Structures are given as C-alpha cells and as structure tokens.
A and B are shown apart, each in its own frame.
Chain A
Amino acid sequence: MTAPPATRARAPRKPDRHEQPVGLPWFVWIPAGLAFLLIALPVVGLLWKADWARMPELLLSDAALDALRLSLETAAISTLLCILLGGPLAVVLARGRLPGLRTLRSVVLLPLVLPPVVGGLALLFLLGRTGLVGRGLELAFGITVPFTTAAVVLAQTFVALPFLVVSLEGALRTAGRRYEAVAATLGASPSLAFRRVTIPLVLPGLASGAVLAFARCMGEFGATIAFAGSLQGTTRTLPLLVYLERETDVDGAVALSLLLVVVAIVVIVVGRPRGSEGLT
C-alpha cells in the first residue's frame, strides 16, 4: 500500500520561548540586510521627496484621476480575463494528458521572462493594421485594436496570465487527484466533482494568483506603451503617466508613484496572507 502519510488536524503552533532553534550563520545577516534595504529604501526616498502640501492637488488633477480610473478598470478586466482563460489553461496543464504538454507550459511562461516591450511589439505586429490577424479584423469588421483601451487590456492580460496560471497550477498539483477520486466513488460526475471539490480546494491558489495578476496589470508599462500608446483617458494608465510627468513635473510623478505604492501595499496585505495559508 503506497499512500502519503496521514494528514492530521494540527493547531497552528505558537512560538515557544523555550525553543532553541539551530542558529543562522553570521554571514547571511549582512547581505540579507542589504537586500531588504534595497527594496525598502527607495520607497522611503519617495516619501522623502514627496511634496505633501501639493499632494491633494497633484493627485486630484484630471490627468491623474483619468489615469487611476483607467488603470483600475483595465487591471480589473484583465484580471477577470486571466481567471476566465488562465484558470482552464491551468487545469489543462495540471490535469490534462496531452502530448507536448511540457512545451505548452514553457510557452505559457514566456511572458514572465520576455521583456514586456517585446511582448507589446509582438502584439502590435499580430494585431496591427498590417499584422497577421489585425489586417483581417480591419477588412472584415472594421476593427482596429492598437492604441485603444482594448489594446491596454490585451497587453496587461498577456503579461499577467502566467502569474495566474503558475499559481493555480501549483495549487491544483498540491491538491492532487485523491479528493476527486473519492468524489467519484461517492457518485459525483467529473463536472460535479470539479465544481464542488476541485475548485473550492484550489480557491486560495486562485485568489493569490488573481491578486498577483492584478498587481502585475496595475504596474504594466512596456507592453502597453508599445501596443497601446499613451493617450489620456484611453490608454494612458498610471505607470505611463508617471513616466510622462517625470519629464515635466517631478512632484506629480512622485505623488503618482506613491499612489501606486499604496495600491501595491493594499494588494500585498489583502492577497498575501490568504494565499500563503491555503494550498499554494
């Protein structure tokens, strides 16, 4: 009988002051500290540089509000697309029995390692007026994708999809097929078992994947500027506005940057604990 060890109910352990863990070697502390400072200090620098008196004015300008609204809307739509398309893709990658699944997985990971601006250009050459698909869309339906809000959503979905797929695929693999097999012996059809057992089991993984994808969408710059351009109210998201303001109004750029930092922190606080507690 080969079976993994029994999973026992275990209360979360509190640190015990009597415990004497094996110590860390002294030499990890210095690079670890430097690494932490490398992440934390730039944010402190932003806070230092910020012009707090003009902050409301800077953040409530039309351009800023437009960009914030656009960023939130497109990131939300892109995250939804990631869930609707990436969720089933993760299921196929984790559970499917297809030849060439390994190759397929490598392709899915491509946007993670590709420079975003290259992704944006690739999208442009595919969907641009002279592109492979774009020309057909233009001729048949009169649809032009580049430099529209739809292009922003496509660019964001392109770069964020792997975050969701990887996170969810990991959760599916951890959950394993044992519960689904049990559900089948109880008379549940594959679709019922999927709805009532598989999805609830991987929900934490799906949630943390969605949060990561949302964060990636909010920060998207390279693919967006290459594929969608920078038109206020249509394609100029917060990161694009920050980059633009940096040239003309440094205080404005800093204020908007801080706004993005706040959004990022909210994402970490909301998304992280659930994700790390669950099956991911």
Chain B
Amino acid sequence: MSLDVDVRLDRESFSLDVALSAAPGEVVAVLGPNGAGKSTLLGILSGLLRPDAGHVRVGDQTVTDVGAGVFVPAHRRGVGLLAQQALLFPHMTAEANVAFGPRAQGVPKREAEARARALLADVLPDVPGLPGRKPAQLSGGQQQRVALARAIAPEPGLLLLDEPLAALDVDAAPAMRSLLRRVIRDGKQTAVLVTHSALDALVLADRVVVLGRGRVVEQGPTREVLGRPRSAFTARIAGLDLIPGVREAGVLRTGDGTMIAGRETGGPAGTGEPAVAVFPPSAVAVFAEEPHGSPRNVLPVRLASIEPRGDVVRLRAAPREGGPEWLDGLAADVTPAAVADLAAEPGSALWFAVKATEVEIHPAG
C-alpha cells in the first residue's frame, strides 16, 4: 500500500516537520543522526504518538488527520513494526509469537499456526524444532529473524523498520540484512526503514530521505543521494567528503576562491552554477609538509580529531586560523603507520591532498 505523510510535532526543545511518501511496494529509508527525529516519525506512523498537525495516509485509509480529528489507534492501522530489539513475547513459543498477529485479526488458530510455521521455515530454515522454542532458547540474530516473521505475518499495509540491525552482532548483521532485502524489498512490502547506516539504506531502500533536526534535508533515489550528496550533512552520514561551491570550467570554486579540480558529472552545466565536489575519505593523502609535484588539490588544514575505524584511522580536519569554513569536518582515512609517521596530534597543521581524478563535481541545484 502507498504511504503519504505530512506531519508536524512540537516539543519544547525539538520540532519535527516532515513530508514524505512511498509508492506501493517501495522501501523508503529515513537516514539521520541521533536526535534527528527518526523515532518520533516512526511513533507518529505507528500510532504511538499524536502529531500537532498534518495527516498520515496508508493506502486509502487516513489513519491520522489532525484537522479532521481522525486518529486510528495503533492496533487498527495495519502498520507493523520491527524494532532494534526483537521483543519476542518471552512466555510464548516462536510459533505462537508469529501466529499472534494473524490470531489478533481473527484468522482461525490452525491457519494462523500454519502460516507461522511457513514463515519461520522461510526466515530460519536450519534450526530444528524452531516453532516450539521459547525466545530465551534463541540467539539474538535468530530472535530478530523470528521478530521479522512475526512483523510480516499479519500482512501489514506498511512495515516500519526501526534500526533493525543496530543491536545485532557484526556476524549476524549481514545475514539479517540480506534476509530483509529478500523479504521486504523483493517481497514488495511497503516499508519505512529508519537507520543511521548508509549501508543499510543502500542495500534495502529504493529511496532515501535524509533527516536533520526534524527537517528533511535531502531526498531522492538512494544511490543518487548517497553517491552524490548535496549537503555536507548528507555527505557526513554517507561517509563522503563534500565541498560546496560554484562550477567553473573543469573546477569547483569555493566561496573563498579556492579552486578544486575534479571530474564533472551530471551533464553540461553553466559556469557559476552551484555545485559540490565529492570524494571518499580514502582518496585523501595526508602530509606534514606542503607536497609538491603531481597535480592535485592541496588543502591546508588543522587536525581536529583522530578516530580509529577498523583497520584505518580517520583524521578529521578543521580550518586553520582564518581558513575557510568548508574545511570543517573533512575526513581522511589513513593507515595507523601513516599517522605514526606524521607524528600528528589534534591541533597540528597538516596538508590534505586529493587527486583530481578522485573528485566528482556534481551540480547542487
């Protein structure tokens, strides 16, 4: 079923004002950092929160309409939820958990149980005796799979996914991610996925809506938005470096006049049009002395922070005294050995260098 939302909710220190829609069978990812209003949005959709203004329509049913005084309670919305925690009912077997939704809808017991067993066999085919097991006898990843089966068993018109992978072990997350892709995306289940992971959005969602401080910052097809972010905010979430400016022949000119060389994408565009330069942090080389020689973009920065990230180290830049604002937050991924060679610590003056071939310049209209 389709989804059409346009709501506003005000709290003392926070306000949410969001419009979004999903076509039938579409998966929309809502991406944003903590505090962006993702949970509030889900609460409004599921009927656990009442917005101050606006409406929510699922298919042809209006479930919330503040103006008309319509508020359908959570249990009559046909909106399912898969949360970070599996929250399986601990006193019921896996089968009873999955059959709970259909039973609540009035599906006869035998039929509901048969549906539950079929769904369990689909999400967890290789666990013997699964239907009769209690949640405490299942691992975290297995519980989350059962929770997925439970969430789709009542055939909800809209399924909400609230960080469904965030609480899983690193071993369990990839398998759960591909299961979600198969069941939700390939199964044409209309869904809203809330996440702070660009990877989850890329794998699972057709479209992405980037949320920041309760507002939609950017939206569009997932690959486009995450591959060519238009705002520093989205780029930070997507894990990409981004420099705003205007386009000139073959380069991007920033507000302070710095020229960034790169490859132009997105077709011909006139000089002076707003544009962004985007590159991955792994393409950035870091020097203690100003490098000379091969043609590349060289940016004088001050080191703001050093963050270990798996087997690389992410260096975050800040502008030097009087330097341009857009340098703030630029990231470079380097090896631990390189950090040791640089002998850099927060506050050190460094040079970030990136080859022109690694930089993409996108129109940012």
Contact = CB atoms under 8 A, between A and B. Distances in A.
Contacts, number: 94
Contacts of A183: 75, 89, 100, 104
B90 interface: yes
B19 interface: no
Interface in B75-114: 75-76, 78-81, 83-87, 89-92, 100-101, 104-105
Interface in A194-212: 196-197, 200-201, 203
Contacts of A200: 89, 91-92
Interface string B315-350: 000000000000000000000000000000000000
Interface in A169-219: 178-179, 181-190, 192-193, 196-197, 200-201, 203
A245 B92 CA distance: 52
Contacts of A9: 135-140, 143
A179 B89 contact: yes
A7 interface: yes
Given A185-B74, A187-B154, A1 B84 contact: yes
Interface in B21-65: 34, 38-39, 46-48
17 contacts: A1-B194, A1-B196, A6-B84, A9-B138, A9-B139, A178-B87, A182-B83, A183-B100, A185-B46, A185-B79, A185-B151, A185-B160, A187-B104, A187-B105, A188-B100, A190-B75, A200-B91
B78 A187 contact: yes
B364 to A, nearest CB: 30
Given A1-B163, A179-B87, A184 B100 contact: no
B140 A184 contact: no
Interface in B278-300: none
Contacts of B89: 179, 182-183, 197, 200-201
Nearest to B168: A6
B143 A182 contact: no
A40 interface: no
B150 interface: yes
A163 to B, nearest CB: 24
Contacts of B76: 187
Contact of B166 (A1, A184, A186): A1
A4 B167 CA distance: 10
